[in-house]
Amino acid sequence: VRFFESKTLLDLYSDWDSSTVYRSNDRGTSWKLVSTAKSRIDAFSFPDTLRGFGIEHFNNICSSVNGGRTWDKILDLRKGEVKTVLSSIFFINANVGYVTGNYGGNAIVLYTIDGGRNWNDLLNIPNVYIARMYISTVGDIFIIGASKKRNIILKVNRTRI
Amino acid 16: pLDDT:
57
pTM, two decimals, is 0.78
* 23-63: pLDDT as tens digits: 777 777 888 877 776 667 778 888 887 898 988 877 889 99
Amino acid 28: pLDDT:
75
Q: What's CA 158's distance to the chain center, in Å?
A: 16
Amino acid 44: pLDDT:
84
Amino acid 89: pLDDT:
92
Pairing of β 9-14 and β 52-56: unpaired
